[in-house]
Amino acid sequence: MISRHMKIAIVLLVLLAIFLAAYNRALKKHAERLQAKVADLRPIAPPVAGRVQNINVWVAHDEDGTLRKQETRVTLPAETTQRARLLLRALFTIYLDRRSPHPIGEGSDVKDVYLLNNDTLVVDLNAPFADAHRSGVFVEELTMLSLVQTLATNVPNVHQVKFLVDGKERETLAGHADLKQSYDVGLVAQSSKSLQ
Amino acid sequence: MPLIEALIIRTRTLLRPRTLRSGRWLLAFVLLVILPLVAQEKRLSIYAPQTFYQVSITDHGKDAYVGLFDLLEPLGKVEARVADKKWKLSFTGSGQPVDAEFQDGKRKCKIHGNDFEMTGNFILQGGRGYVPVTSLANLLPRIIEKTLEVHAAQRRLFIAGVAMKFTLDLKHNPNRLVATLPSPIAPQIANDGTHLRLTFVRDPVIPTGVDVYSYTEAPFASSNFSEANGIATLDVVGTVPLQASISDGGKTLTISAVNQQAAPAPTTPNPQVPSPTAPSAGTPSSATATVPAATPKPRTGRMYYVALDAGHGGDERGAQLTETLNEKDVTLAVARRIQHELEARGITVYNVRPGDNTLTSDQRAASANGSRAAIYISVHAATLGTGLRVFTAMVPPLATPNRRAFLPWDTAQAAYIANSYAVAGAVAAECNQRKITVKSLGAPVRPLNNIAAAAIAVEIAPQADTVESITDAKYQQDIATAIAAGVADMRGKLEGQ
């Protein structure tokens, strides 16, 4: 026969166990939220001196395999290389968003942009962009065309775009898209037409 | 190694002053690309009634192993899955399905419910099953239910009695060596003065037992038939320069002294000697093809054959399509289906990647260019979208393409891009006809820009929403048929260009 005191003690212990379980769950969720914030490696752009402008970026959409113009508001300086870098960062912001139509790897960023002979842009991308990119001819092509088309649309007099990864030449983006050769803006525009 | 000797003979020929300019690119190709490949690659050649193919051999300890899936795939429908440490295989050839079960690290396996013991342990690596080459003679007939002849040390395997015994008979007036075979052959022929070498890559010829002969009658000194690393080689040494000719629809091989009157200086190279990677044609295009030691005959056009390149391979797995499915496996499976379909249409195929081996983009381009194929097809697979995508290179077309000039490596495709568009269009049209979703566009995909021939890349996406549908045999077959039909449609336009 279990005494009344014992019964009360057991009930209290069960209630305590339920409370601790709920508390533990709440703590875990809180920790996960904090972790997500820490893991958000999206680049924080430094303050830029320039005019806030409405520009068109070319966004890849995996769902139907198209490239579509999308208007976005960005502060853009007049200097060509800084302008190109911020344009690509604006595009990356769309791709890094949770509802991205064409997701790219976390932490993807543009390290630097150089201008050669006033008509060739050399874009230095960081390693997370290339290392975490999905592999496939078409998915890689969508990325490359959207980058080149965005630059061609917003940076005047650019005829060629060359890509580096972490300051070095790389054979392909993720096994398919050619990064050894420069991209001819005219040819990219031609290919992009069939994707619009 | 006989192949290396053949390459050295070819290299000597190229070093002669008259050929130095035209042969320099080929010499560099041989030294930089082929020799290292030959030195590294071990391959098992499989000769079946319907096809010829090669699979890579890997060493595990002292034993040579071969991937069983790669070996069986061209012979029928194969399905494999891993459960615990067991690898369960189902093979359907011409008869009833045969089930087999292998266990990692064990010699014993079950085939159709019966126990069988291999000569070495079964190895399961990355979802792929490997068996010892020395076990194949007894293991494979139980699965494919056909007779088998295995030359394990020579890495050659003959299915369903396709092997042809090769004998050379000495005939007189004039003296000549003649071999008559039941099926057509198309060896690669190379010579260096009085030394004539015939290399049989795709031909299932085997020696009769006595392989070395010495002759007392001119113009022959000796002949030696040998097999090694998946190929057979016949070396004939004469007292004067020799020539080889193939007649009777490819079934008769004749070796004789070169007609000295017709032949110019003996230092002239043989223009028809194929490059080291050139595939031998399945059937000779003419009734008699003579390949003398010194008959300069300028090449007027390309034979219509296709260089088929299954994307990725070896250490380079390509896209991870599912947890257990790599792009390199799908590309190889689809490439083999395309090969069957092309061969069924009488088009010879040169496999750039016949097995699970690692190749760089430059090696692929060099290999395809060296083969002088009329069309290059790079095969890829992806999970994004549905249907088939056909890509051409993103290079500007030349206003006046000059294909005889030296072509820059990075833009070699520019001289051929118009033909590439035509091939892509023909493939897309065949897909539309078969109601396969198809998209045709330019893409910056390697190594299309470096290919000196009509070149396309095809990317197969799933049929429906499920990624697994990409492995559906009927779906793959439909796509392979459409691609082959498109390529066959282009024959009239591209042959001989």
Q: Which tens digits make up the pLDDT trace of B233-242?
A: 888 888 888 8
Residues of chain A with Cβ-Cβ distance to B461 below 8 Å are 138
DSSP-derived pairing of the beta strands B52-60 and B63-67: antiparallel
CATH number given to B58-159:
3.30.457.10
Domain topology for B164-257: Immunoglobulin-like (2.60.40)
A17 burial class (0-12, 13-18, 19+ CB within 10 angstroms)?
A: exposed
Range scoring the smallest mean pLDDT among A62-71, A124-133, B249-258, B405-414: B249-258
Please report the beta strands in B201-319, taking only residues with DSSP state E, as ranges in sequence order. 205-207, 212-214, 220-228, 231-238, 242-247, 252-257, 289-291, 305-310
Number of A to B CB contacts under 8 A, please give it.
Answer: 86
ipTM > 0.85, yes or no: no
The enclosing H or E element of B136 equals helix B136-144
Please tell me the predicted confidence (pLDDT) of residue A2: 79
Q: Supply the pLDDT for residue B29.
A: 53
Residue extents of the structural domains in chain B: 58-159, 164-257, 305-494
Q: Average pLDDT over chain B, rounded to whole?
A: 79
Confidence band (pLDDT; 50, 70, 90) for A94? Answer: very high
Confidence (pLDDT) at A39: 56
pLDDT digits 0-9 by tens, B428-457: 999 999 999 999 999 999 999 999 999 999
Mean pLDDT confidence for A70-76 = 90
Best residue in B410, B441, B450, B451 for a mutation probing chain A (most A CBs within 10 Å): B441
ω into residue B174 within 30 of 0, thus cis? yes
CB-CB neighbors (< 8 A) of B361 in chain A: 171-172
User: Is some CB atom of chain A closer than 8 A to the CB atom of B443?
Assistant: yes
CA distance B322 to B466: 10
pLDDT of residue B299: 38
B444 and A141 in contact by Cβ < 8 A? yes
More confident residue, B468 or B301: B468
> Is A65 in CB contact (< 8 Å) with chain B?
yes
> Residue B320: its chain A contacts at CB < 8 A?
135
Residues B180, B167 contacting (CB under 8 angstroms): no
**Does the domain at residues B305-494 carry the CATH identifier 3.40.50.300?**
no
Model pLDDT for residues B323-357, shown as the tens digit of each residue:
888 999 899 999 989 998 898 888 888 889 888 88
Chain A nearest-CA distance from B293, in A, is 42
Tokens of B135: 């076990």
Instruction: Please give the average per-residue pLDDT across B265-286, as a whole number.
Output: 33
Mean pLDDT of B402-415: 81
Residue B303's pLDDT is 67
Name the residue among A62, A139, A171 with its Cβ closest to that of B446: A171
Higher pLDDT, B281 or B224: B224
Q: What is the percent of chain B where pLDDT is above 90?
A: 24
Cis peptide before B269 (omega within 30 of 0): no
Q: What is the pLDDT of residue B202?
A: 80
The token pair at B169 is 């008979």
Residue A44: what pLDDT? Answer: 58
Q: How far apart are CA B23 and CA B232, in angstroms?
A: 26
pTM: 0.60
Distance between B458 CA and the closest CA of chain A, angstroms: 9
Q: What is the percentage of chain B residues whose pLDDT exceeds 70? A: 80
Tens-place pLDDT, residues A150-175: 999 999 899 999 999 999 999 999 99
